[in-house]
Amino acid sequence: EVQVVESGGGLVQPGGSLRLSCAASGFTFSSYWMTWVRQAPGKGLEWVANIKQDGSEKYYVDSVKGRFTISRDNAKNSLYLQMNSLTAEDTAVYSCARTWSGYLSGWFDPWGQGTLVTVSS
Amino acid sequence: QSVLTQPPSASGTPGQRVTISCSGSSSNIGSNYVYWYQQLPGTAPKLLIYRNNQRPSGVPDRFSGSKSGTSASLAISGLRSEDEAYYHCAVWDGSLSGRVLFGGGTKLTVL
């Protein structure tokens, strides 16, 4: 079964850091772009970042540039999101998704269930 | 407020046909493919339509997508109770640094 499963969310204080992981299975992970998308409580979806198959290209939404770092380990079929200098506005469910058709694409399938990040004192 | 505009809500009765719109601009919908996702309560989004009007295997042909100019639409015919969900449109936006945009989401209620 093709699936992605996120982990690593939790409660963190403003200014803190968190590292999210996404474990992929059922497909050749190294052949796909991968993406992180988040959804704040009661809000719509927001694209956060994506990364090329070999990790050589990475793109971020402006609001996280300089604070978040996307990375991957193809040997472990894993995607990561290092989040630093967190603020309350980063509170959301973070999901990873396999990305089709390169980085110029809104084509995500499948998505994981997500992991909740709560930034609060 | 999203750059892609979707109505916050839509509704219909079983068997009816409903459409959900997604309005954008020349830098996004006007020049790139549109994707639609269905999000049932408490679940992850699921790909419903890709490349404007293509259905992944397993998606019923009751669901259809279309695009014209800077707007796109998702149509659901033969509405069923299990279609009650949030529907999101997504598209790449080529302006400035480039990014994927999502609409604000439309909550579909089956009356």
- Specify the pLDDT at position A105: 85
CB atoms within 10 A of CB A88: 11
- pLDDT value for B29: 95
Question: Is residue B103 classed as helix, strand or coil in its secondary structure?
Answer: strand
> What SS3 class is residue B62?
coil
Q: Which residue has the higher pLDDT, A31 or A101?
A: A31
Mutation target among B54, B100, B102, B106 for the A interface, most CBs of A within 10 A = B100
Compute the average pLDDT of residues A44-58. Answer: 94
pLDDT at site B1: 59
Q: Is the pLDDT of residue A101 over 90?
A: no
Per-residue pLDDT of chain B (111 residues; tens, 9 = 90+): 568 999 999 999 999 999 999 999 999 999 999 999 999 988 999 999 999 999 999 999 999 999 999 999 999 999 999 999 999 999 998 886 778 999 999 999 999
- Per-residue confidence (pLDDT) for residue A8, from 0 to 100: 98
Residues of A in contact with B103 (CB under 8 A): 44
Per-residue model confidence (pLDDT) at position B19: 98
CB contact under 8 A, B35 and A47: no
Q: Nearest CA to B31 among A50, A13, A104, A65?
A: A104
Predicted local confidence at residue B91, as pLDDT: 95
The alpha carbon dihedral of A48, A54, A55, A58 has a sign of negative
- Residue type, position B16, single letter: Q
Q: Count of alpha carbons within 13 Å of B103, Cβ hemisphere only?
A: 30
- Distance between CA atoms of A96 and A115, rounded to whole angstroms? 9
Q: Provide DSSP, A17-71.
A: -EEEEEEEESS-GGGSEEEEEEE-TTS-EEEEEEE-TTSS-EEE-GGGTTTEEEE
Distance CA A114, CA A38 (A): 8
